[in-house]
């Protein structure tokens, strides 16, 4: 495309049309150069441009094709049968026309979510013993502190599974009507986790006892050393027998490999065959 001789004499519409044509030509030149580079790389034996598949999000935005004519509609699964009905409400017709006959009900199931604060005041009995001491009724099982187990479960799930930060979790609880401070929230996330720690230890202990071999890192150094000590106790009789064969030539040596000590019999004389 040859540029016009006088650009100042062109109108705004002509300049806009000229710019669009130049952009189209530039894009076409880029595609041509990319294709030529791929061809040159192929002829030289190098790898060509990778074939990157388009994202599936584009397909999700496109409307689904209509079902073919003559095919039966797909039967939907019974989702309502999997639900537990917590409440039933009867909706009546305000003023049915005169002469109408009642034909029963039709069901319409709705799922909803109720999130609200639930405050419980435990009125604990107090009794005075004959000796003058006071006896107070204990709290129900599972109650520890002024925050219930369901609130603790929700906080742990939102923080660990929902990846929520402490400020956002605090704002959410305050919006629900829970009176709690940031220090109390952090205490809920940190304190009282001995049960999870004990479960983690039991899982680790079961894995170490049943695994054929273990890759050891720094946090599990002590467990690996205990396993190595147990293994070496079975090798001790063989080491003593090997040392008794040639006690003057062979001496025990020790090496550390992957934080697990291993012992064998090595020779101090280079002419002796390896054991």
For 127-182, what is each residue's pLDDT tens digit? Answer: 999 999 999 999 888 788 889 888 988 998 899 888 899 999 999 999 999 999 99
Structure-token pair, residue 106? 């039709």
Neighbour tally for 225: CB within 10 Å: 14
Q: Residue 236 has what pLDDT?
A: 53
Tell me the per-residue pLDDT of 40-74, one tens digit each, with 9 for 90 and over. 888 887 776 677 777 666 665 666 777 666 666 66
CA distance linking residue 215 with residue 208, whole number of Å: 10
Averaged pLDDT for residues 21-33: 91
Give yes or no for residue 253 having a pLDDT over 50. no
Q: What mean pLDDT value characterizes the chain? A: 76
Q: What is the mean pLDDT of residues 196-203?
A: 80
**Whether pLDDT at 273 is above 70:** no
For the beta carbon of residue 155, count every other beta carbon within 10 angstroms. 22
Q: Where are the alpha helices (DSSP H) in the chain?
A: 12-43, 57-61, 149-156, 166-176, 182-190, 194-210, 221-245
pTM over 0.75: no
Q: What is the largest CA-CA distance in the chain?
A: 119
- Residue pointed to by tokens 């650009």: 7
Give the separation between CA 199 and CA 193, rounded to whole angstroms: 10
What does the pLDDT look like over 167-180, one tens digit per residue? 999 999 999 999 99
pLDDT of 30 over the 70 cut: yes
CA distance 48 to 66: 39
pLDDT class of 205 with cuts at 50, 70, 90: confident
Q: What is the percent of the chain where pLDDT is above 70?
A: 66
How much of the chain, in percent, has pLDDT values that exceed 90?
A: 22
pLDDT at residue 249 is higher than 50: no
* 267/33: higher pLDDT: 33
Are residues 240 and 230 in contact, defined by beta-carbon separation less than 8 angstroms? no
| Integer Cα distance of 275 and 255 in angstroms | 16
pLDDT at 231: 53
According to DSSP, residue 165 is labeled -
Return the HEC string of 77-142. CCCHHHCCCCCCCCCCCCCCCCCCCCCCCCCCCCCCCCCCCCCCCCCCCEEECCCCCEEECCCCCC
pLDDT at position 70, please? Answer: 62
Q: In this structure, are residues 134 and 128 in contact, taking their beta carbons and an 8 Å threshold?
A: yes
First-to-final CA distance of the chain:
86
């Amino acid at each position: 495309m040859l540029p016009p001789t006088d650009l100042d004499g062109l109108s705004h519409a002509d300049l806009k049309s000229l710019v669009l044509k130049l952009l189209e030509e530039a894009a076409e030149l880029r595609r041509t150069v990319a294709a030529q580079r791929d061809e040159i790389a192929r002829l030289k034996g190098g790898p060509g441009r990778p074939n990157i598949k388009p994202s599936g999000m584009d397909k999700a935005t496109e409307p689904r094709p209509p079902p073919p004519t003559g095919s039966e509609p797909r039967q939907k699964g019974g989702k309502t049968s999997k639900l537990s009905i917590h409440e039933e409400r009867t909706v009546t017709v305000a003023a049915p026309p005169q002469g109408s006959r009642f034909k029963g009900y039709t069901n319409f199931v709705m799922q909803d979510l109720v999130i609200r604060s639930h405050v419980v005041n435990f009125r604990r009995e107090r009794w005075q013993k004959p000796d003058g001491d006071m006896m107070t009724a204990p709290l129900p099982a599972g109650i520890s502190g002024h925050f219930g187990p369901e609130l603790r479960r929700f906080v742990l799930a939102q923080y660990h599974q929902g990846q929520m930060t402490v400020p956002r979790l605090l704002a959410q609880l305050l919006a629900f009507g829970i009176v709690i401070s940031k220090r109390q929230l952090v205490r809920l996330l940190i304190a009282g986790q001995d049960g999870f720690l004990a479960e983690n230890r039991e899982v680790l202990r079961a894995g170490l006892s049943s695994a054929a071999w273990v890759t050891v890192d720094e946090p599990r150094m002590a467990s690996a050393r205990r396993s190595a000590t147990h293994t070496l106790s079975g090798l001790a009789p063989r080491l003593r027998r090997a040392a008794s064969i040639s006690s003057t030539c062979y001496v025990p040596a020790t090496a550390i490999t992957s934080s697990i000590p291993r012992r064998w019999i090595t020779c101090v004389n280079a002419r002796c065959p390896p054991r």
